[in-house]
């Protein structure tokens, strides 16, 4: 048994069977086939609502660009959702998009561009990262230039604009429903599940981080 599996087994002893089953069930629904990138979101309640939506729809990774604005989560709105996600921060839009492309993602810009297609028409046969811009000005020109395609949510009123957290939730609902109904292998790999499960158990178990350190110290001596 490798070190990670041994530690996971050790921490599992401190968790109820019910909670362990819940962890396993949630892991089975997690995906990295879809991800979200937020560019310079400055309103904490919107950022926090996005975190909560990503967690609820089974998205494991959230990418944050902090080129001009620092990302701040409001714990009352996020309801602890951030501890179940892997939040990756980037200094610039260019670096964020480059990292996503290196990971095999197609870059999709959520924007009211003339060439934007309705979200329902977006094909998700390959890994897809949907990028959202600031509340006032939307995505930067840089993000538009580096995007592979544009999408929008069809709207039929005068306002022609959703709050960003609502936009993310609506798009995720559409995309995850399509993904789960498809034959695409969107699940996490066994190796990814192993790492994430250990991370979650460390946060669930009281003094989990301390137990983890003590375990590794003992394991390495043996």
77: pLDDT strictly greater than 60: no
Is 66 or 119 the better-scoring residue by pLDDT?
119
Q: What is the pLDDT of residue 6?
A: 87
Looking at per-residue pLDDT, the higher value among 134 and 76 belongs to 134
**Same domain (yes/no): 159, 56:** yes
What CATH number did the domain enclosing 82 receive? Answer: 3.40.1280.10
Whether residue 154 is found in the same domain as residue 53: yes
Which pLDDT score is estimated for 76? 54
Most confident listed range (39-53, 73-87, 119-133, 206-220)? 119-133
Domain that holds residue 72: 31-186
pLDDT band at 16 (very low <50, low <70, confident <90, very high): very high
Tally of domains in the chain? 2
Name the residue with higher pLDDT: 42 or 188: 188
pLDDT of residue 221: 63
CA–CA separation, 145 and 88 (whole Å): 22
Considering the domain architecture, whether residues 136 and 197 belong to the same structural domain is answered as no
Same domain, 47 and 26: no
Query: Is residue 120 pLDDT above 60, yes or no?
Result: yes
User: Residue 160: what pLDDT?
Assistant: 76
49 and 89 both lie in a single domain: yes
Asked whether residue 79 falls in the same domain as residue 160, the answer is yes
The mean per-residue pLDDT over the stretch 182-210 comes to: 94
Given this model, what pLDDT does residue 95 score?
A: 95
The answer to whether residues 35 and 112 belong to one domain is yes
pLDDT in tens, 36-67: 999 987 777 788 889 999 999 999 999 999 88
Q: Please give the share of the chain, as a percent, with pLDDT higher than 90.
A: 67
């Amino acid at each position: 048994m490798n070190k990670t599996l041994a530690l996971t087994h050790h921490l599992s002893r401190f968790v109820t069977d019910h909670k362990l089953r819940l962890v396993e069930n949630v892991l089975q629904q997690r995906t990295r086939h879809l991800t979200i990138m937020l560019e310079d979101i400055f309103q904490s309640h919107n950022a926090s609502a996005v975190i909560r939506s990503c967690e609820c729809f089974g998205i494991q990774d959230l990418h944050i660009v902090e080129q001009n604005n620092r990302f701040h989560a409001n714990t009352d709105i996020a309801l602890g959702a951030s501890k179940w996600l892997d939040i990756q921060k980037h200094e610039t839009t260019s670096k964020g998009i480059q990292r996503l492309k290196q990971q095999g993602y197609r870059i999709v810009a959520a924007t009211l561009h003339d060439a934007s297609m309705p979200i329902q028409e977006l094909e998700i046969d390959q890994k897809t990262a949907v990028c959202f811009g600031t509340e006032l000005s939307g995505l930067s020109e840089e993000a538009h230039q580096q995007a592979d395609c544009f999408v929008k949510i069809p709207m039929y009123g005068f306002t022609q604009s959703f709050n960003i957290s609502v936009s993310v939730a609506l798009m995720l609902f559409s995309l995850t429903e399509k993904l789960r109904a498809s034959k695409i292998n969107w699940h996490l790999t066994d190796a990814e599940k192993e790492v994430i499960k250990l991370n979650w158990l460390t946060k669930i178990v009281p003094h989990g981080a301390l137990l983890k350190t003590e375990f590794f110290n003992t394991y390495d001596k043996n």
